[in-house]
Amino acid sequence: MLALRRVQHQSPSIVRSLTDRATLEQIIRVDHAGELGADRIYAGQMAVLGTTSKGPLIRHMWEQEKHHKATFEKLIQKYRVRPTVMTPIWNVAGFALGAATAMLGEKAAMACTVAVETVIVEHYNDQLRTLLEDPEANKELMETITKFRDEEQEHHDTGIDHGAEQTPFYEVLTNLIKLGCKESEETRGGAICNTDKIFLRYVGDPGFQTGVAEDIGVHQASVSKVVTKVADQMTEKCGRWIKFPSTPADVTEAKRKWQGKYTFPCAVGVIDCTHMKIKKSPLH
């Protein structure tokens, strides 16, 4: 995924009264990672659709995401929170996801927006439930997250209004993302970066790769090579990452071990933004 109403400038002191330092760090780190991913996804969509009739709409949502990202960047600096180590990768991966869906057409781009915003809204709602344990102490942070949550919901609704549900990949895309996020919540340890997992599950799906190949007139193997190169980059930069299947033999073996409901056989969860964990998908 990941586009939001403009908000008035708020000082990083909005989280000063938060009593749980670990919770503070987790919220800032994960939200910054999510907004970074959103920024790059919209950048990718603009690169493909910027001159079309949907260009102004995408740019509007992108500008809102930039504001959200800037807010969390200030909080990271103010409170000396360690940002996600995935920043260099998401500059590429987020852009690739946005551009790839845009290449499938305007409706596919809107479907990507709807799916990602659904995840982000649920994510913000989870944070708000945590902060409600001490609403007075966390009042200002709750107000900020609530505003951001509402803006993400607005983007979701915009995508629906602009034909997201009419794309052939809509059901597969949204189900993959929702399934992946539910699995990530079950993983242990620290903050979970949903955006990293969304990208990996989506572009790793053979059905998606075939659709892209047919749409742009290339062999599926060519698309697979691009995905594999991204995986190699991730493996090189984060040695603790587990490389997902990239050859027919790997896919066959992974399906045998980790078969789930959808085509991509592995449930990928990013734990504290430093490594991936392969986890069996729950059967439905």
Q: What is the pLDDT of residue 34?
A: 82
Domain that holds residue 273: 12-279
The answer to whether 116 touches 198, Cβ cutoff 8 Å, is yes
Residue 265: how many other CB atoms lie within 10 Å: 24
The answer to whether residue 201 is domain-embedded is: yes
Q: CA 150 → CA 6, 141, 144, 153, 227, distances in Å?
A: 11, 14, 10, 5, 33
Q: Shortest CA distance to 269 belongs to which of 187, 150, 191, 148?
A: 187
**Cα 236 off chain centre by:** 21
The answer to whether residue 251 is domain-embedded is: yes
Query: Would you write out the chain's pLDDT as a tens digit for each of its 284 residues?
Result: 333 333 333 444 444 444 478 788 888 888 888 888 889 889 989 999 999 999 999 999 999 999 999 998 988 888 788 887 667 666 777 787 788 788 878 988 898 888 888 878 888 998 899 888 888 888 878 888 999 999 999 999 999 999 888 876 566 655 554 554 444 443 333 333 444 444 555 566 676 667 656 655 567 776 676 666 555 554 444 433 344 444 556 545 544 544 443 333 333 333 323 333 333 333 33
Q: What is the pLDDT of residue 37?
A: 82
The answer to whether residue 84 is domain-embedded is: yes
The answer to whether residue 4 is domain-embedded is: no
Q: What is the pLDDT of residue 154?
A: 95
The answer to whether residue 47 is domain-embedded is: yes
| Token pair 């551009």: residue | 99
Q: What is the pLDDT of residue 166?
A: 85
Tokens of 104: 């499938």
Q: What is the pLDDT of residue 274?
A: 30
Q: What is the pLDDT of residue 114?
A: 87
Task: Say how far apart CA 218 and CA 121 lie, in whole Å.
Answer: 36
Task: Say how far apart CA 40 and CA 101 lie, in whole Å.
Answer: 13
Q: What is the pLDDT of residue 68?
A: 92
Q: What is the pLDDT of residue 246?
A: 45
Task: Say how far apart CA 52 and CA 55 lie, in whole Å.
Answer: 5
Task: Say how far apart CA 214 and CA 189 lie, in whole Å.
Answer: 40
What's the CA angle centered on 186, arms 182 and 190, to 5 degrees? Answer: 115
| Token pair 């503070």: residue | 24
Task: Say how far apart CA 242 and CA 195 lie, in whole Å.
Answer: 17
The answer to whether residue 254 is domain-embedded is: yes
DSSP notation for 23-69: HHHHHHHHHHHHHHHHHHHHHHHHHHHTTSTTHHHHHHHHHHHHHHH
The answer to whether residue 1 is domain-embedded is: no
The answer to whether 152 touches 4, Cβ cutoff 8 Å, is yes
Task: Say how far apart CA 78 and CA 201 lie, in whole Å.
Answer: 33
Structural domain count, the chain: 1
What's the CA angle centered on 168, arms 247 and 172, to 5 degrees? Answer: 55
Q: Shortest CA distance to 220 belongs to which of 208, 231, 229?
A: 208
The answer to whether residue 6 is domain-embedded is: no
DSSP notation for 178-217: HHHHHHHHHS-SS-B-HHHHHHHHHHT-HHHHHHHHHHHT
